[in-house]
Amino acid sequence: MSDAGQEQLPRRLWWILAGLTLAWGVNWTALKVALAEISPWAFRSLCLGGGAAVLFGVLRAGRMRLAVPRAEWPRLALLALVNITSWNILIAYGVSMIPSGRAAIIAYTMPVWAVPLSVWLLGERMDARKLFGLALGLGGLVLLLVEEVANLKAAPVGTLLVLGAACTWAIGTILQKKFPLSVPASVYTAWIMLIGGVPIYVGALFTDLGSHPRVSTEAWLSVAYNVFIAFAWAHWAWIKIATSVSVTVFSLSMLVIPVVGVISGMLVLGERPSWQEYGAMLLILGALGTVVVPRRA
């Protein structure tokens, strides 16, 4: 698996970032629809199990080698626990308690935690361009978080759960760079989804043993979207980008996803963004430009 620390998002990854932004941005709305009818444990079990099955099926059809070196299994299990198990359960419960657009915004405070950790633990260097991009991105998040302080009393548990998910994502991203695996990104993605889902499958057995209410077509479509797009493809895309560039560049690239999440919630669920959210979108798009627009010679 590539472990390059490029300081600019390469052109070959632009289409992957565009697809990932759309896939995960829209998924915040799909999450809200599905979790209105399906329990978090059952929903995440379906998504992780189905997504892993799709990936393994594609890899087998392409005759790719699926073996992981024995010495790397403990590392793989740790990365699966942080990146998959923790994130998915925290987000599933958090999104069921607060609006999807707000959840997307809080979840993508990830750079606030990831960038300082990357400087401390990975020795990444900050130049003027990255600092400017980080300042724009954090400025957008501050605009949003000012509003969230007022909303915190209304749904403190949901907000804190999503914030905890952001922290686990940041830690997982750092660990992924510090302890890389030797297998391709696609193989790594399939295995962490399968292994990270094990505690969730067990949890579903104990929490969802009774009969489940009838699930609507819309909720099943949301599950299908998660299995094929948000999990099978988007998780591969996330790992592909995260292991190809520095943590700072990756973190800033991800900031545009909540912009799509807010717009999606507005169009599908009728959520209405405030002026702070619109201002934050502009600042975040500016931050994205600092890692996508090529540097002048």
Q: How far is CA 244 from CA 4, 101, 147, 241, in A?
A: 5, 28, 34, 5
Question: Is position 2 within any domain?
Answer: no
Report the pLDDT value the prediction gives residue 2, as an integer from 0 to 100: 47
Inside any domain, residue 236: yes
Report if residue 35 sits inside a domain: yes
* 3 lies in some domain: no
Q: Tally the domains of the chain.
A: 1
Question: Per-residue pLDDT tens for 186-205?
Answer: 999 999 999 999 999 998 88
Higher pLDDT residue, 296 or 123? 123
209 vs 50, higher pLDDT: 50
1 in a domain, yes or no?
Answer: no
Q: Tell whether the model's pLDDT for residue 182 goes beyond 50.
A: yes
In a domain, 97, yes or no: yes
Provide Rg for the chain, Cα atoms. 18
Domain annotation covers residue 6? no
Residue 104: domain span: 11-292
Q: What is the pLDDT of residue 59?
A: 95
Q: Concatenated DSSP letters for 168-230?
A: HHHHHHHHHHHS--SS-HHHHHHHHHHHHHHHHHHHHHHHS-SPPPPPPHHHHHHHHHIIIII
Please state, in angstroms and rounded to a whole number, the distance separating the CA atoms of residues 259 and 26. 10
